[in-house]
A and B are shown apart, each in its own frame.
Chain A
């Protein structure tokens, strides 16, 4: 009897650090070097092994990471206090030297296809005033420094001289995070083992194996077969079925990615895909008129798209980011479906039924991207603007879009830094190479008032004031001028085996250390 109790106790004790967690990833992880390729799947893995000075919670709100605290001493000087009890996986202590070495390495990673230099460039100078204090000097007032620091994984100074191949082989992978490097097989799997000396909460799994299962039906099958206990990016078509399946639990949240329509509001004449009613190229560009853009927005029934095409896995959008994010407008709500209002606006603008469009869209980039474009085109055609759809792989789409070969396009924007200046600056600020503005402004929307508001906001250190300015810029760029038409926010969904729980993240990261056991 006593033995049985003992055994039962043992059985209960064991799952505390459960054996193994297998996770099915939707996109391949291409490197173990946290500074080589700035890509969501890579960053997601890096977040297990490495840590950032500033962390982000599941809603992308900033929280202490390797830094205990940070504050702006003046407009261009930031003081960052580091955590003291942190050790690297190799046992050596974490100090300010590591931070300096990281900042130095980031712009100098050879052959990097997407570097993190965009986040370190504002920093003019970094120095350590004591082993646990770093002072950063920015070139100009840069209130987003903490957000930028949340993207930079700190590596140990000892490994700073190592190249990407040494990271891929695991030799140079030395982090401070809850998991240590185990194995990396390109295109197949990443294996991590628990860091039992982690200063924070002890990892719940002794071993985590990430498997790259890019086909979504196969990923779902792997979860149902029990080969993996968790998958990311559950396809919308399977959600209704999985909800009824007792073996599986789903976790979902609205993400930081908005799907939007961009219109050519730059060219005064001869926009390439604007035609007259007969389908012949048209000289005038009606898309320059804010009333026409507003009318297009009113023609689209966002609720229908969200419920039918996205099967509920989307939320109609009225701006770039859901209202919970910093710097969003409190006044904008999704444009109501109003075909009559649209007709009135078109007539007022002088374009009742006189032009047609082609909507260009990628067909392998966003959830149901081509289907959404088809629906939009049908709404527009019904509303009096005959619209065709031209769908293509994203490899072709983005090159052509950035060369301004389109008049009307569908794309998506995920705010990586988790606040509203990211989409404002990239999508609706006037294209300007020297300022780095409007890099994804493929409609070349431009408004001096909006530019000025964004500029002031980006140099205002005070969070509350900056937030209000960003909100005002959004009101003007979207509410008043309809610079782009937001359609919906994507919902990201994870599937886990019963007995596990995941707090869905707005930034779409799949983090094993945030998976909890429910029994």
Chain B
């Protein structure tokens, strides 16, 4: 097992290197950050000064070389816009994104699995049909539109929840967290719901499909024939067997919820990483974009590794091979 984990981490380094080269090269081709950063009134001398101050007057390969050299010591460069280490700028925004992702995942799991179970066990009932129809809506409505609709209904019309922004934060283990207080949670509810909607639909449909499939298998029939109480059949035998595909999907979706909450964060003015990276792309703040994608890729790889390890815990038949990886 340790060898397996080590090998996976070595692969990670290679992936990170390739990502950095692609993103660096891509952004270099997009445009000249100086044009965006300087005040339009700036004359040629001021433009040259900006380029020199940010190291943009050097050839592209040299700039990348400097970046790589720094990256090996954990320094991903300074943000052009903020003048601070890019990694620091990103990590500062991370708690906001993580708590939103956590809340969204909690909502989609807490609602999705029970609803999916129900719809799978009673597939022809009216309620099940309603749930499934609802999940189609959750899939197909565009996030930005649903977000605005949620704001219009719950904030503007009903006035129950705040429309945008992040609530007051409290410190927990050195992180600024807002969802621990009711006031803070009120701010997080709408964006989390907006973010959760797609995942919720996905989990409902996946759970239902799994339940339908597994219910017909022999072990379920035996369990029932043995006279086990219904609760045990569903709660232990069925649930455990549908969890494996669910965990794969949840793992992948958790990554995407963290990395690509861009639309939700923009609409709800949620000060997370997604909003940061969008602003940074528009301003060609290359160090932040590169650092963000590296952090994201790293996170995806880590989550996948955890998912693989979880498999072996859940299903004794899955063995992690030392030899092949």
Contacts and interface: CB of A to CB of B under 8 A. Distances in A.
Interface of A: 24, 28, 30-31, 36-39, 110-115, 117-118, 121, 164-165, 168, 185-189, 211-215, 217-219, 221-222, 224-227, 364, 393-400, 402, 413-414, 416-417, 422, 426, 433, 436-437, 439-440
B127 interface: no
Interface stretch (B77-85, B217-225, B294-302): B77-85
Interface string B113-151: 000000000000000000000000000000000011001
Given A113-B83, A218-B164, A221-B151, A118 B39 contact: yes
Contact of A110 (B39, B53, B93, B266): B53
Interface residues of B, number: 54
B50 A112 contact: yes
A214 B275 contact: yes
Nearest to B161: A225
Contact of A112 (B45, B47, B53, B84): B53
B210 interface: no
Contact of B39 (A39, A217, A395): A39
Interface stretch (B66-74, B232-240, B280-288): B280-288
B155 interface: yes
B15 interface: no
Contacts of A394: 36, 282
Please provide the 5 A-B residue pairs with the shortest distance between their CB atoms, ordered closest to farther.
A436-B43, A399-B31, A188-B271, A113-B37, A398-B35
Given A395-B30, A395-B281, A396-B31, A187 B275 contact: yes
A226 B159 contact: yes
B159 A218 contact: no
B50 A115 contact: yes
Contacts of B151: 218, 221, 225
A417 B267 contact: no
A168 B155 CA distance: 32
A36 B93 contact: no
Contact of A221 (B44, B155, B266): B155
Contacts, number: 168
B164 A213 contact: yes
Nearest to B50: A113
A104 B173 CA distance: 42
B268 interface: yes
A398 B31 contact: yes
Contacts of A221: 148, 151-152, 155-156, 163-164
Contacts of A222: 155, 163-165, 269
B16 to A, nearest CB: 25
12 contacts: A30-B81, A37-B83, A38-B39, A113-B37, A113-B54, A115-B50, A118-B42, A213-B165, A218-B268, A227-B162, A397-B31, A426-B41
Interface in B177-209: none
A153 to B, nearest CB: 14
B151 to A, nearest CB: 5
B32 interface: yes
B92 interface: yes
B40 interface: yes
Given A113-B81, A211-B269, A417-B41, A225 B159 contact: yes
Contacts of A111: 53-54, 78, 83
Given A225-B163, A426-B40, 11 more contacts: A113-B38, A118-B46, A186-B93, A187-B93, A214-B266, A214-B275, A221-B152, A225-B159, A395-B281, A417-B41, A439-B47
Contacts of B148: 217-218, 221
Contact of A164 (B36, B42, B83, B268): B83
Interface string B42-66: 1111110110011000000000000
Contact of A37 (B81, B162, B282): B81
Contact of A225 (B44, B53, B89, B156): B156
B269 A396 contact: no
Nearest to A426: B41
B315 interface: no
Nearest to B92: A186
A144 to B, nearest CB: 11
B42 A114 contact: yes
Nearest to B96: A188
B70 to A, nearest CB: 14
A393 B92 CA distance: 27
A15 B101 CA distance: 41
Interface string B151-172: 1100110010011111000000
A39 B164 CA distance: 24
A112 B83 contact: yes
B279 interface: yes
A497 to B, nearest CB: 14
Nearest to B266: A215
B211 interface: no
A395 B164 contact: no
Contacts of B35: 395, 398-399, 402
